[in-house]
Amino acid sequence: MHDKFPQFMGNEVRMRRNEPTSQAFVSRPSRGTVAMCALPVVGAAVAVALVAAGTGGLGVVTPAFAQASTLSKAQATAGVAYDKALREFKAILAKRRAQIDAKQALPDLPGQAVYLARIKVMSTYKDLSDALPSRIGRPNKFGVPPAYFDADIEPLIEEYAALFRVMQAPPADAQASNTPFKDVVDLGRAIARAKGLDAATADAAGRISLGLFFAETNGNQNIGNARSNKYKGSLQTGVTEDRNGSRAWTAIKARVAALDPAVAARDDKETARIGNGDQRFNHWTAVRNGLMHAHADLFPQLPAITRMLPDQIDQMKLFELIQIIPTPTRAALASANLDTYRVSSRVMGYLRNNSMFTFGRADRAKSSATFREILDAMWLFNDKFERARARFEDIKTQETGRAG
> What pLDDT was estimated at residue 402?
79
Say how far apart CA 270 and CA 282 lie, in whole Å: 8
Q: Are 227 and 219 in contact (CB under 8 A)?
A: no
Say how far apart CA 37 and CA 246 lie, in whole Å: 27
> What pLDDT was estimated at residue 401?
83
CB atoms within 10 A of CB 99: 16
> What pLDDT was estimated at residue 374?
98
Q: Are 217 and 170 in contact (CB under 8 A)?
A: no
What is the rounded average pLDDT of the residues 38-53?
37
What is the rounded average pLDDT of the residues 285-298?
97
For residue 155, give the H/E element and its range: helix 154-167
Chain mean pLDDT for the chain? 87
* Spatial CA neighbour of 193 closest among 285, 287, 257: 257
Q: 282: which strand partners?
A: 175
pTM of the model: 0.85
Say how far apart CA 166 and CA 146 lie, in whole Å: 28
* Spatial CA neighbour of 211 closest among 87, 323, 128, 54: 323
Q: What is the 3-state secondary structure (H, E, C) of 47-106?
A: HHHHHHHHHHCCCCCCCCHHHCCCCCHHHHHHHHHHHHHHHHHHHHHHHHHHHHHCCCCC
237: helix, strand or coil: strand
CB atoms within 10 A of CB 313: 18
User: What is the pLDDT confidence band of residue 16, given thresholds at 50, 70 and 90?
Assistant: low
* Spatial CA neighbour of 128 closest among 205, 190, 68, 191: 68
Percent of the chain at pLDDT > 90 equals 80
> What pLDDT was estimated at residue 249?
98
* Spatial CA neighbour of 93 closest among 140, 48, 129, 123: 48
> What pLDDT was estimated at residue 376?
97
Q: Using DSSP, how many helices (H) and how many strands (E) does the chain show?
A: 16, 2
Say how far apart CA 369 and CA 313 lie, in whole Å: 19
Over 50: is that where the pLDDT of 174 sits?
A: yes
Burial (CB count within 10 angstroms: exposed 0-12, middle 13-18, buried 19+), residue 198: exposed
What is the rounded average pLDDT of the residues 24-37?
34
Model pLDDT for residues 47-92, shown as the tens digit of each residue: 333 433 333 444 444 544 444 558 999 999 999 999 999 999 999 9
Helices 73-101 and 154-167, packing angle to 10 deg = 40
Model pLDDT for residues 308-358, shown as the tens digit of each residue: 999 999 999 999 999 999 999 999 999 989 999 999 999 999 999 899 999
Tell how far CA 351 is from the center of its chain. 12
